[in-house]
Amino acid sequence: MHTFPDAKSVARALSPDEPVILNRPHAARRAARFFVEKFPGKTLYAVKSNPAPDLLGVLWDAGVTHYDVASIAEVRLARATLPDAVLCFMHPIKTGSAIREAYHRHGVKTFSLDTIEELEKIVEACRDPETGAPARDLRLCVRLRVSSEHAQLSLASKFGCDLIEAPVLLQQARQHCDWLGVCFHVGSQAMSPFAFVQALDRTRAAIAEASVVIDMIDVGGGFPSIYPGLEPPALEDYFQIIHQHFYALPIAYNAELWCEPGRALSAEYSSMIVRVEKRRGNELYINDGAYGALYDAAHVDWRFPVAALEDDLRDGLEDFSFYGPTCDDADYMAGPFPLPGDIQAGDYIEIGMLGAYGAAMKTGFNGFGDAQVLVVEDEPMMSLFDGSRTREDSGNVVNLR
């Protein structure tokens, strides 16, 4: 794959008619090393945030050995890409055939669940196909429902057992597994470390009531990235508070601590070049949108960083909204996206921080969706890991590199 210095050089060299995805392997590698070296436990990459095989390879080379997979398709992809990776099937609702294939064909031992019915399904699917004997090496994780009040995107409604249900489920699961964990998810883009305090307090109550040996606590995802208007505390603050509360839990002395970042590892990996096809006042019609890599910008009003790539734009910044290329009024991104006031049709824009859920959610609706993929060498448009941000640590300003 050809490598370019930056987005401007791509626009000048190619004058592309279609959107172009720009990948930065060095940014993903840096984010992975940050988690591997600083999180006080094991880091699993949430494959759903960006399943690109090239990215999975970058993360593996950077030391991420465990992967959170949420479907049998993700199991197959991750196993084909990373033959030696540890895959954990963390979707709480799975088909029996998916469980069976994951366990017997792909060596998946770790499964999450939030009901007795799912536990029974896992136990049955993992039996020895010849003797009918139950599996002896299952690693089960009971998912608790916790609050998403500190997150930009809630994950509190769909999955997780209530606190009143958790003790019985933990007791039942303990009878069928070699290793038992508790997992939860505080919601995507959690903007306060205290999201994890509340969740771990709920975990403590469930374990105490169940009175079973717990071998692992998985604090899930929710670790934020940085976007315009969403500048989170330093990730070390999250790690520190998780570490403190983990050691206060009534768990086995050798229990493991896991996390499942997706956005935090992949957001800085990609940006995208789009072309302005039409201007109507302060509305720009561009060639990607809600059915492409800008799903979050349309449906949850996510503000991504933007930059005009033309050198001849002289006016000051004005706030713009975007329309995507499809024949659908919902293909609209309110922004605001600050760009030079004299931007016009034919100009190119770079939209940053699309590595998480951007390229992964592109569709072919209305015949749009094609995008060339290139590698660039410059820094992401925003970063938590490039050393540019500092935090107060014991009275001293320290670098986040």
347 and 235 co-located in one domain? no
78, 213: one domain: yes
Mark whether 276 and 332 lie in a shared domain.
yes
Tell me if 344 is assigned to some domain. Answer: yes
Structure tokens at 324: 């995507």
**Side-chain-side CA neighbours of residue 241 (13 Å):** 16
Identify the pLDDT of residue 146: 83
3 state DSSP class of 376? strand
Residue 396 located in a structural domain = no
Q: Quick one: 41 and 174 in the same domain?
A: yes
Q: Of all residues in the chain, what percent carry a pLDDT higher than 90?
A: 80
- Strand extents, DSSP E, 187-331: 188-190, 216-218, 256-259, 270-280, 283-286, 306-308, 317-323
Can you give the CATH number for the domain in which 303 is found?
Answer: 2.40.37.10
Helix axes 116-125, 166-174, angle to 10 degrees: 20
Do 246 and 362 fall within a single domain? no
Tell whether 51 is covered by a domain: yes
The pLDDT value recorded for residue 161 is 92
Residue type, 281: G
- Is residue 391 domain-resident? no
Domain boundary, last residue among 266, 300, 318: 266
pLDDT at 398: 39
Give CA angle at 152 (331, 199), nearest 5°: 145
The answer to whether residue 386 is domain-embedded is no
- Are 183 and 143 spatial neighbours (Cβ–Cβ below 8 Å)? yes
pLDDT tens readout for residues 70-96:
999 999 999 999 999 999 999 999 999
Residue 393 belongs to a domain: no
The predicted model scores a pTM of 0.93
Number of domains in the chain: 2
343 is a domain residue: yes
pLDDT (0 to 100) of residue 159: 82
How many Å apart are CA 341 and CA 112, to the nearest integer? 51
One domain, residues 190 and 279: no
How far is the CA of 47 from the CAs of 38, 112, 197, 264, in angstroms?
A: 21, 15, 25, 12
Same domain as 356, residue 255: no
- Write the pLDDT tens digit of every residue in 199-229: 999 999 999 999 999 999 999 999 999 999 9
Query: For residue 400, what pLDDT is reported?
Result: 40
Q: Do the domain assignments include residue 82?
A: yes
Instruction: Please choose, from the candidates 207, 210, 143, 204, the residue with its C-alpha nearest in 3D space to the C-alpha of residue 172.
Output: 210
CATH number of the domain bearing residue 240:
3.20.20.10
Q: Mean pLDDT for each 10-residue chunk of the chain (401 residues)?
A: 91 96 97 97 97 97 98 98 98 97 98 97 96 95 85 71 94 95 90 91 94 95 93 94 93 94 96 97 95 90 94 92 92 94 97 92 84 95 84 42 36
- For the chain, give me the number of helices (H) and strands (E)? 11, 21
Whether 277 and 189 share a structural domain? no
Q: Same domain, yes or no, for 84 and 127? A: yes
Q: Same domain for 241 and 289? A: no
Do 119 and 174 fall within a single domain? yes
Check residue 391 and give its pLDDT.
59
Q: What is d(CA 114, CA 397) in angstroms, rounded to the nearest whole number?
A: 43
pLDDT confidence of residue 395: 37
For residue 286, what are the domain limits? Answer: 3-22+270-376
Do residue 253 and residue 104 come from a single domain?
Answer: yes
